[in-house]
A and B are shown apart, each in its own frame.
Chain A
Amino acid sequence: MLDKNIAADVLHEAISLGADFADVFVERKNVQNLSFNSSKVKDIQSGTDFGIGVRLIYGKQYLYGYTNSAKKEDLLELTRNLAAQKKRATDRGFNASFNNANYPLIGAFEDKTTPLDQKVAKLKQLDTLVRQQGEHIAQVNISLVQYNQQVEIFDSEGLYATESRPYCRIATSAVAKDGQAQTSGSWNPGARGGYSFIENLDMNWIAEYLGKKTHTILYADPCPAGNKPVVIDNGFGGVIFHEACGHLLETTSVQKKASVFWDKKEEMIAHEALSAVDDGTIDNLWGSLSIDDEGMSTQKTQLIKNGKLENFLCDRMGELKTGHKRTGSARRQSYKFAPASRMRNTYIEAGPHKLEELIASMDDGIYAKSMGGGSVNPGTGEFNFAVEEGYLVKNGKIEKPVKGATLIGKGEDIMKKISMVGDNLEYAAGMCGSVSGSIPVTVGQPPVKVEDILVGGR
C-alpha cells in the first residue's frame, strides 16, 4: 500500500528530528454493509477507508498524526508538524532496511467472493424464519457487516509487518409487540473471516432464540431490586469480566495509576475459583489477530490464575511507562487513532460445575441468561451491565422471567465474589469502545455465580 522508500524517508525524518522511536501505520479497509428491514433490502453500502498514521515517541511521550494522503511530501510535512514541539539536535536517522516480521497466521473463515443476491437471499430466509416464531413478532431488522482491514506497519527498528484481517458479523433484532407493550431482543454473532461464517450459522436456531427471548421479555415482570446472588450464563455473560476487570488490566489505565489493580501484580485479586485469559490467537474468533497494531505477534496472555494477578495487557507505551512486557495487545479502531493496550478475546476459564448446580445453590437470586453491554469507570472500578433476559430464582428453582435489571458494583469487590464456575465455556462477539476507538473483541465465560451483587430494577 505504501511505498517502502516513502516509509523509510518518513521514519528517517522522525528520527533525525530527535524521536527515540517512530512507526507508520497504513490502513485500507474495504467495507460492504447490507441491511434488511420490513422484509426488504433497506440499504446496501460499500466503500473504502484509507489513511496513514505516524507516531513519534520522545521519552515517554507520544505524538500522533494522520492523513488520507500517501504522498511523500504530505507525510513528511505531517512528521515535521508533529516534531515541531519536541525536535532536538541529533545525528541519528533511519538507515536500516525493513525486515519482514515472521508470525503465525491466525485462522479465519474463508473470505470468498459471494454475489450480493445470495447474501440478500440469506437475509430474506432469516427474516422469514424469525417472523414465523409467533404473532408477537412485529418487526425484524437484520444487517450484515463485512469488511477487510489491510494493515502495514513500518517502524524505526526496521520492522515491516502486514496483515489482511477479514471480519464478518450479522446483527439480528426482533421487535415484539402486544397491544401497548413492546420490547426487542437481539443476536449478533461475528467472526474473523468472510461470508462462509454466515453460511455456517444455523438460521433456524437464531430465529427460535429470538422468538423465545422476545416473548419472554415481553411478558416478564420488572426485576425486583436489591443485593442478591446472581448466576450469569455463559457466552456474552463474559461482559462482566470484560468490564469489571479486563479494562483495569490494560496498561492504558495501569500506566496512569487509574486502575485499582495497577500495583497488584502477583497478588490475589479474585476468588481462587477464578482464572482468566486474554488470547488473540484463537482461530476464527472476532477478536483474534495475527499481529497487533504495532506489528507484534499476538499472544495468549494469562491474566489471572486461581485468583492471582499474573499479567497486564501491554503495548509499547505501556511498556515504556510501567516496565511490563508487551503482550501483542496494541489495538486501534483505525489509522485515526494511536494504538493502545486493549483486550482481544477475553474469557474466564472453565471450572468444575454444571449450570444446574449454580442455580440450585441460590435461595433467592437472579439467573441472568442473556446479558446486554456494560461500562466501567477505570479510576474507581465501578461497573454496570444490563441483563437482557433474566429469571427470578427461589429455593434453587427458576420461578419466573424478569426484565429491566442492571448489575452494578466495583471490580475489586466482584472478582472476589465469583465463587462457582461452570464447565461449559462459550464465546460471544462484541464491540469495545475505549481510548483507541471501537474495536472487535470477544467476551467469554462458562456460567459463573456471583455471591452478592446489587441488582437494579423496579
Chain B
Amino acid sequence: MNLENKKLMQKLIDFASKEGAESSDVIFNTGKSLSMSAQEGELDSYKVSGSKIAGIRVIKDSKVGISYTEAFDDEALKDTAKKAVENSRFGEVNEFEKIEHAVEEDLVHMGDVEPVEQELDPQAKIDLCLKLESEVRKKDERVKGVPYNGLSESSVEGHYLNSVGTFAYDFESYVSCYTSALLKEGDKNSMFYHGTVGKHYNSLDWKSCVEQSYNHSLNWLNASPLKTGKYDVIFSIDQFESLFGAFRGMFSGKRAQEKSNPMFDRLGERIGHEELSIMDMPMYTPGFFKSPFDSEGYVRADLSLVKNGVFSNLFHNSATSKYFKTDNTFRAARGAKSALGVSGTTTVIQSGSKAEGEVKSGRYFEIHNMQGLHSGLNFMSGDFSFGASGYLIEDGKSIQAVNGVTVAGNFYKMLQNINAIGNEINSSSGKSFFCPLIRFEALSVAGN
C-alpha cells in the first residue's frame, strides 16, 4: 500500500472542500499489466501498461456531482474537484445520497501478498504464450489456425477515501490465458475458444484451454442443426453465467429506484423453482475475487437473493436502501468514472436434490456456445433469442454435435420452468459463478 496515493486522494478531497463541497469521496485505481499473443510460432504482440485514475463524488446542497482525471498534477486535481462541484449545481436534490460512513481503522484486503509478475522470468512467460498456439496446432493437421490466443498478468490496486476519514484498500494480482482452434476440412470449418484465470502461474490451467478449444472445435466440424422444436436445455456453466449476467439487473435496487427493474414488483413472491436458491457471497472460499467491503467502505456479508424460489433481496447501497426504507445490503459499486450504483460479488446457486445422472437423463440440448448475448435480449421483457452451438444428449451421451440453431425463451419464466437442479456445485472458468447443473424445460430451438 502506497501512502502517497492516500495523500493524493486527501488532496483531491481538500480541493473539493475549498470549492464548497460539504462531503466527498474518492476512488483511486492503479494497475499494471503485461499481455502477449503468438502467431505462427512467434510472438505476435507484447504489451505492457501502467495506469492510474482518480474519480471524486461530491455532495453540495444535497446535490451530487462527479468528475475524474488521469492527470495528477495539482492543477489537474483542482480542476477535477472544481468540475465535480460545478456538476452538482445542475443535479436534482437527492435526499438519499450521503457520504457519512465513518470507520476509524483502515480497511485492507490483500488478495495476494506478492504480485504475480515476479513468479516467472520473461522468457518463461513467452514460452508459455507460444505453447498456447503450438499445442493446439500439434493436435491435428486440420487445425488451420489459432487466431485468438493470449497470456496476460495484472496487478490492480483499489483505494477508497471519504471526507469523514474512511479508507479502504484492495490489492489483487492474477494471470489469465485463452486460446482458440480453427479447424477446416473441405468446405466445413469450426472454431471455439476458451479462457481461464489463476492466482499464480503454477495454478493456471492452460492445458484445459487447449483441450476445450480443440475438442469442441473438432466436434463441431461435423455439426448440424437440430430439427425446429421444443427442447429441454442444460447450459454449460460458462454460458449460464453469461446468460444470468445479462439479467443480473433484476437484483438491482438502483434499477428499481429508477423504475427499470421489471422484477421489482415481485419482491417477496415466488419467482422460481422451489429448489432455486441464489446467494451473493463476497468471501466465498472457492471464489476467485474476494470482495470484503463495498464502494462506500461498508463491510459486506453474504446475501440471499432468491430463497427456495422466493425473490428475497436486492443489491442496495446506502442511498437506494434509504429510498426504499429498507436495510442496506452493502452492495455499493462505483468506478472512478461512474456514479454510485450497486453490483453483486460472487454468485452461488445452491445445490438441489437431484443426482447429476438424473438431471442428465433422457434427451436434451446441452449448450456450450451462444452468440449475440449483448443484442439478442430484452431486459425488460425477459425475452431472448441467441445463436447457439452444443450437443444433443441422450442419457448423458452426445448423439449429435449441433450448430446453426437459435435458442429462444424468456429468462424470468425460465426460472420457474426448471426440471431439475443437480446436487453438486460447479465453478465457471472465471471462478466467479458457482452453480449446479440446471435443466430448463422446453425452450424453443430453431434449426431445420
Contacts and interface: CB of A to CB of B under 8 A. Distances in A.
Interface of A: 37-38, 40-51, 61-69, 78, 81-82, 84-85, 116-117, 120, 138-139, 141, 175, 181-184, 217, 222-223, 225-226, 253, 256-258, 260, 336, 338, 372-375, 377-380, 382-386, 403-406, 408, 454-458
Contact of B45 (A182, A257, A338, A377): A338
A21 to B, nearest CB: 15
Interface in B391-445: 403-409, 444
B67 A375 contact: no
A404 B446 CA distance: 13
Contact of B145 (A51, A256, A374): A256
Contacts of B338: 45
Interface string B234-264: 0000000000000000000000001110100
Count chain A CB atoms within 10 A of each CB in B44, B76, B180 and give the residue with the most.
B44
Given A184-B379, A408-B387, A225 B444 contact: yes
Nearest to B403: A382
A379 B446 contact: no
A388 B87 CA distance: 35
Interface string B352-394: 0000000000000000000110111111110111110000000
Contacts of B89: 116
18 contacts: A43-B64, A43-B66, A50-B71, A61-B45, A64-B47, A64-B48, A120-B90, A225-B408, A257-B147, A375-B375, A377-B371, A380-B189, A385-B375, A403-B378, A406-B372, A408-B371, A454-B406, A458-B409
Contact of B147 (A44, A50, A378): A378
A382 B387 contact: yes
A255 to B, nearest CB: 8
A379 B376 contact: no
Contact of A63 (B46, B190, B371): B46
| Centre residue among B42, B49, B386 by max chain A CB count within 10 A | B49
A375 B387 CA distance: 10
B417 to A, nearest CB: 13
Contacts of B380: 175, 182-184
A1 to B, nearest CB: 11
A380 B190 contact: yes
Contacts of A69: 50
A67 B39 CA distance: 26
Nearest to B265: A180
A210 to B, nearest CB: 13
A40 B394 CA distance: 55
B446 A456 contact: yes
Contact of B47 (A63, A256, A378, A384): A63
Between A336, A374, A454, the greatest number of chain B beta carbons within 10 A of the residue's beta carbon is seen for A454
A258 B444 contact: no
Closest 9 CB pairs between A and B? A456-B406, A225-B446, A373-B375, A258-B147, A47-B68, A379-B191, A406-B385, A384-B387, A384-B372
B70 interface: yes
B186 interface: no
Chain A binding surface SS class: strand
B90 A184 contact: no
Interface string B325-349: 0000000000001110000000000
Given A386-B372, A457-B385, A40 B42 contact: no
A45 B126 contact: no
B258 A386 contact: no
A379 B180 contact: yes
Given A64-B45, A380-B189, A455-B446, A184 B378 contact: yes
Residues of B in contact with A, size category: 35 or more
B92 interface: yes
Interface of B: 39, 42-53, 55, 64-72, 76, 79-80, 83-84, 87-92, 122, 126, 144-145, 147-148, 180, 182, 189-191, 225, 228, 258-260, 262, 337-339, 371-372, 374-381, 383-387, 403-409, 444, 446-447
B408 A45 contact: no
B180 to A, nearest CB: 7
A362 B267 CA distance: 46
Contacts of A258: 145, 147-148, 182
Contact of B258 (A42, A50, A184, A256): A42
Given A182-B262, A258-B145, A375-B375, A43 B444 contact: no
B406 A225 contact: yes
B76 to A, nearest CB: 7
Nearest to B341: A43
B48 A82 contact: yes
Contacts of B262: 182
A458 B145 contact: no
Contacts of B378: 183-184, 217, 403-404
Most B-side CB within 10 Å, residue of A42, A141, A260: A42
B145 A375 contact: no
A68 B182 contact: no
Contact of A456 (B51, B259, B381, B385): B385
A258 B71 CA distance: 39
Contacts of A386: 372, 375-377, 385
Nearest to B88: A44
Contacts of B260: 37, 139, 141, 175
A117 to B, nearest CB: 6
B51 A85 contact: no
Contacts of A117: 90
Contact of B51 (A68, A81, A377): A68
Given A338-B47, A373-B374, A379 B379 contact: no
A260 B69 CA distance: 43
Contacts of A49: 70
Nearest to B89: A116
Contact of B69 (A47, A380, A405): A47
Nearest to B381: A183
Most buried by B among A138, A382, A405, A456: A456
B376 A384 contact: yes
Given A139-B259, A256-B145, A47 B80 contact: yes
A82 B403 CA distance: 42
Given A38-B258, A65-B48, A256-B39, 14 more contacts: A46-B87, A61-B46, A64-B48, A66-B49, A182-B381, A225-B228, A253-B147, A258-B145, A379-B191, A384-B376, A403-B383, A456-B385, A456-B405, A457-B446
